[in-house]
Structures are given as C-alpha cells and as structure tokens.
Amino acid sequence: MSIDSQQAFTDDERELAGMVREFADEVIAPRSYEADRAHELPLDIVAQMGELGLFGLPFPEEVGGQGGDYAALCVAIEAIARVDQSLAITLEAGVGLGAMPLYRFGSDAQKAEYLPDLVSGRALAGFGLTEAEAGSDAGATRTTARLDGDEWVIDGSKQFITNSGTAITSYVAVTAVTDRSGDRPEISTIIVPRDTAGFTVGPAYDKVGWNASDTHPLTFDAVRVPAANLLGERGQGFKNFLRTLDEGRVAIAALATGAAEGCLEAAVDYARSRTVFGERLSTKQNVQFTLARMHARVHTARLAWVHAARLCDAGKPFAVDAAVAKMTASDAAMANARDATQIFGGNGFMNEYPVARHYRDSKILEIGEGTTEVQLLVISRALGLAGSTVAA
C-alpha cells in the first residue's frame, strides 16, 4: 500500500512486522482456507511460529525468550491476523493466557517444568476462566477447589477455553472458588495437567468463526492435583485475572487491527482488478471513499493499541487505554469486514475469499476478552460515572 500505516512502530518493530508478514503471506495464508474448512489447528505451522521465536517475544532471554516486550508480541499478532485470525488467537492465548501468567505468578518449580516448552511454542496452555454464568463477572464463578490433605480437589466446568484440547496442550490453569466464608468469594488459580483423572475436555465447538482455533468446554469431576499446583498466592486469582485480562485486551486490539488491515488490503486489490460496466471498481468515488474510511479505521485502531501497549510496557496504568483500544479495534474489524465483503459482492460471500472468513471471524472480537459493553463500563467508571458492581 502507498500509505505507510506503521509509523507508530519503532524501526525494530517494523522489521519484526515485515518478517512476520512475510511468513504469514507465504506459509499461513495458503493453508488458511483448508484449515478453516477442516476446523483444524495446523500444529506444524504452530511449530514454525515457535521456531521463529514468536511465542517467546515478550519474555527475557534467561527463560528462553526473545527479550522483547508486550508491544513486540502485539506486532506479531497483528501481522498474522491480517491473513488468519485463528492462528493469531492461538499465539495471543498461548502467550497471554498460557505462558505469561505462569511466568509472572508461578513458582520456580512450576516455571522449570512448564515454561521452556511454552516459550518455545512446543506446548500450549489454556486459561480456564469462563463459565456459563461467569466471565468478566468472575465473582460468579461456580467451579470450586478444596484442600484435602496435600491435594486440591476441583469440581465444576468451564466453557470457550482456547488451546485446551490440542495434542500439545500441557495444562489448563483453572480459576476456582477456594473459600466462601468472606464477603466475596476467594478465587484462586490452580494448574491442572492435561491427563489428570477426572479432567475431561469436551468435543470442540462448532463455531461461527475462528474455526481453526482450538476451543473446548471442560469439566472437572473430583479432580485431584497437588497443593503445589496453586498458581500464585491463594486468593489472588481474581486480582491476577484482572492483569491478565487487561493485557489480553491490548493483544486482542492488535489482532482486530490486523483483521481490519487484511480486509483493507484485500478490498484495495480487488477494487483495482475488478471491472464493472467497463471501468475499474477503484475509479468509483463511493468505493474510494469506503476504502479511505477503512484505512482511517486501521490507522486509528493501531494508534490505540500501540498507546496502550507502551503504557503496559512502561509499568504505567493502562486498563482504561486497553478498553479503549479493544473497543476501537474490534469496531474497526467488524466495519472493515462488512465494507470489504460489500466491495467483493458475491465473491465476498464465498469462504475461499479471506474477507468472508474475516466477516465471520471478527464478530467474536466484540465479545471475547470482555464484551464491548464491558469496555464501556470500564471507560465510564474512569469518567467518574456511577458504575455497576460487575467485575471488568
């Protein structure tokens, strides 16, 4: 494209973006349609992503990482999401929901056992938060864990858990109520290895989009794991979850920006090549204006997530900025998918075209990692308006 829309990046980030974009175009894109149709995560591509160091981007070199920061991870997520949201969310969840909580809150023994494989992309981990009545409202969690001697006994269920049932999933970190005696439930996070007795991974969901992403319901029937599997301090699961969710919103905003950009790139190429009534579609002013608005959305979404990521990496408060970025970028992804599909006409309704898959995939960006309504709650509270007690 003639407009350089990556001026918000540093030179190193632009170099990283170029490398990942090339990989996405040459390796991921040719496989995206078949992976989507087969509802199958291509683990060989995940392995190649690991070999490129993408799963280790925000981790220090002493634990096997690339020594980068959270912004670097988001640059890679955005570049992949242009062509395949399923693999982008696999990376986002693999790092943000899998490896990062372990790195930040895990014991030395837990890190030694699991972190090397997670950081290298040889393994994935899930984060078991969402339930039928609990998501952003984590206080409604019904899954319980009680100590019986030197073991936790876990009962309950989770739903919509990413990376929870792949052949390389090593564990799921589960939020559970460990005490109800106080004014509010005590929520802790516990590591449950994949082959633990009583831990059942249900059949994969038949989803509208993100078909190549691994997503399952989970059940825990008197699951016993060692007391040492507590991830972080007891009772800090809710607090730790909030930090994880805030970072996740920045990463989802980057993913949504990539989706919006992928739609723009495809629509520009199609408009230039498509002839209607003897003229290129790109010569029609209404199409030109539509593409201009699509570019503006990409530009604004990128500025929003980069700003939030910079605050995160600097150790400054960023929760409100993450909410703004997540809402802005998910709106951009949905709007650009709609406009790109319209420009493609009938072809935009065919799944072999990337814009059709983006049209299906992008809706979840307004739901996952906190709905648009939750982002509005976060922002309105920051304005000093009377808020609800729903956790965000």
Domain ranges of the chain: 11-123, 125-235, 238-382
Paired strand residues for 171: 125, 193
pLDDT at 25: 97
pLDDT at 237: 82
> What's the whole-number mean pLDDT along residues 379-388?
82
> What's the whole-number mean pLDDT along residues 281-295?
95
**Domain 238-382 architecture:** Up-down Bundle (1.20)
The structure tokens listed for 69 are 């920061």
Domain 125-235 has what CATH class?
mainly beta
Q: Is pLDDT of 293 > 50? A: yes
Q: Is pLDDT of 2 > 50? A: no
pLDDT at 135: 65
**Residue corresponding to tokens 């930090």:** 243
Q: What is the pLDDT of residues 142-197, one digit of tens each?
A: 999 999 999 999 999 999 999 999 999 999 999 999 998 878 889 999 999 999 99
Q: Is 311 exposed, middle or buried (0-12, 13-18, 19+ CB in 10 A)?
A: middle
Q: Which residues are catalytic?
A: 369
Q: Is pLDDT of 361 > 80? A: yes
Q: Is 346 exposed, middle or buried (0-12, 13-18, 19+ CB in 10 A)?
A: exposed
C-alpha 103: how far from chain center? 18
More confident: 200 or 5: 200
pLDDT bin (cut points 50, 70, 90) of residue 239 is confident
pLDDT bin (cut points 50, 70, 90) of residue 35 is very high
Q: What is the pLDDT of residues 91-141, one digit of tens each?
A: 999 999 999 999 999 999 999 999 999 999 999 999 998 888 776 666 688
Q: Is pLDDT of 383 > 80? A: yes
Domain at 11-123, CATH from 2.40.160.40, 3.40.50.720, 1.10.540.10, 3.90.1150.10: 1.10.540.10
pLDDT at 1: 45
Q: Is pLDDT of 316 > 70? A: yes
pLDDT at 276: 85
pLDDT bin (cut points 50, 70, 90) of residue 355 is very high
Alpha helices in 95-218 (DSSP H): 100-105, 108-120
Q: Is pLDDT of 389 > 60? A: no
C-alpha 389: how far from chain center? 25
pLDDT at 164: 96
> What's the whole-number mean pLDDT along residues 302-331?
97
pLDDT at 387: 55
Q: Are 146 and 98 in contact (CB under 8 A)?
A: no
> What's the whole-number mean pLDDT along residues 11-33?
97
